Amino acid sequence: MRVLCPSLRPSPCLLSLLGLVALLSAGTPAAADEGWSVAPLGTGRPYFYAEGTPGTVLQDTLSVRNPTARTLNVRLSGGSWLTLAVPEVDVPARTRADVPFTVRIPDGTPPGDRTTTISARALGRTATVRVQLRVGGPRLPALTVEHVRVRGDRIAYELVNRGTTDLVPTLAVRADGVLGPLLDRAPRTLPVHLPPGRRLALTEPWSERPVFDAVDVRLTVTAADGTVRDEAGASVRFVPWGGVAGVAGVLCAGGALGVVRRLRRRKRRDEPPCEHAELAAETDELTGAMT
């Protein structure tokens, strides 16, 4: 008699369940390793914000969270105004480390908003937290336009923010020739942002400039809703040098020919008369005497 043993083959449902468990088990550590984060200490702050006047030292704390199952080494760095308590920190598994830092606003810093960051690097990944600073003090707008000049088919100039506030300038352009206006562009807002102390070189297109004229170019800039204004200009002479060279060549050739002719006439006057000429003169005088 043969005894038949029952089959030990697993059911399809059991195979699916085991595959799902294995997949979740394999993916959990990787997801945890990528889960570390940095943020301002506390809740509800997506970035740091602080206000102060030049010379002020501000303090705050960065929180480094490590949800992984192993100790995490995090390297920290910040902007030139930032000083972190430590350059790196080891965060135990499933906990966090709080790192204090200070922000010193340098003396003489003009008022306005400044932005810097704190960077953290671990497990080949870098995360940053923004630090928004507002520097207090008197807000004085001032703007100048300088070094206006014409270069080919463009008008070059420089804008300088000499105040203590950020500026978005507007520009108006005018060019007057001998017979009247050649260019008259209404004020328009430039697509530039000019922080305090910044100098910016710009150009303005001028494709329809004259061929022959004496032109005065004037630029007018305004900012801060028209409370600051400055003007500067330049004079330029447009000359068709190809035509001038041709005319000059003709005049030079004519002048040279005239000089040669005058030299020849002078040479003839200075030469002594020949004998035949003297005899003819004497004959004429004798003939006249006999008449």
- Condensed to tens digits (0 to 9), the pLDDT of residues 242-286 reads 654 454 454 555 555 555 456 556 655 665 554 443 333 333 333
**131 and 203 fall within a common domain:** no
Q: Which two tokens stand for residue 51?
A: 């206000």
Residue 261 counted as domain residue? no
Please report the pLDDT score of residue 265 as a whole number: 63
Give the tens place of pLDDT for each residue, 52-109. 999 999 999 999 999 999 999 999 999 989 999 999 999 999 999 999 999 999 998 8
CA distance readout (Å), 172 to 35, 142, 188: 54, 17, 7
Nearest to 180 by CA among 213, 202, 156: 213
**55 and 120 fall within a common domain:** yes
Please report the pLDDT score of residue 279 as a whole number: 33
Q: Which of 12-21, 136-145, 187-196 has the lowest mean pLDDT?
A: 12-21
**183 and 155 fall within a common domain:** yes
Residue 132 has pLDDT above 80, yes or no: yes
Please report the pLDDT score of residue 18 as a whole number: 33
Please report the pLDDT score of residue 261 as a whole number: 59
Q: Which two tokens stand for residue 87?
A: 């350059």
Work out how many domains the chain is built from and give that number.
2
Residue 205 counted as domain residue? yes
**128 and 156 fall within a common domain:** no
Residue 146 has pLDDT above 90, yes or no: yes
The parent domain of residue 230 ranges over 143-238
CB atoms within 10 A of CB 249: 10
Residue 192 has pLDDT above 60, yes or no: yes
Here the CATH number for the domain that contains residue 159 is 2.60.40.10
Please report the pLDDT score of residue 190 as a whole number: 97
Residue 172 counted as domain residue? yes
Q: Which residue has the higher pLDDT, 284 or 228?
A: 228
**Strands of 112-122's sheet in order across:** 48-52, 125-135, 112-122, 72-78, 88-91
**95 and 172 fall within a common domain:** no
Residue 153 has pLDDT above 90, yes or no: yes
Please report the pLDDT score of residue 1 as a whole number: 31
Q: Which positions ≥6 away from 121 have C-beta within 8 Å?
A: 74, 75, 127
Residue 229 has pLDDT above 90, yes or no: yes
Q: What is the pTM assigned to this prediction? A: 0.53
Residue 137 has pLDDT above 70, yes or no: yes
Residue 285 counted as domain residue? no
Please report the pLDDT score of residue 272 as a whole number: 56
Residue 22 counted as domain residue? no
Please report the pLDDT score of residue 115 as a whole number: 93
**128 and 69 fall within a common domain:** yes
Nearest to 165 by CA among 186, 193, 126, 145: 193
**149 and 103 fall within a common domain:** no
Question: Any idea how long the chain is?
Answer: 291
Residue 7 has pLDDT above 80, yes or no: no
**DSSP string covering 26-60:** HHHHHHHHTT-EEEESSSS-SSEEEEE-TT-EEEE
DSSP symbol at 108 = T
CA angle (59 as vertex; 53, 60 as ends), nearest 5: 130
Q: Which of 116-120, 166-170, 250-254 has the lowest mean pLDDT?
A: 250-254
Residue 235 has pLDDT above 60, yes or no: yes
**163 and 228 fall within a common domain:** yes
Residue 32: burial class (beta carbons within 10 Å; 0-12, 13-18, 19+): middle
**209 and 167 fall within a common domain:** yes
Residue 166 counted as domain residue? yes
CB atoms within 10 A of CB 103: 21
Task: For residue 17, name the pLDDT band (cuts at 50, 70, 90).
Answer: very low
Percent of the chain with pLDDT over 90: 60
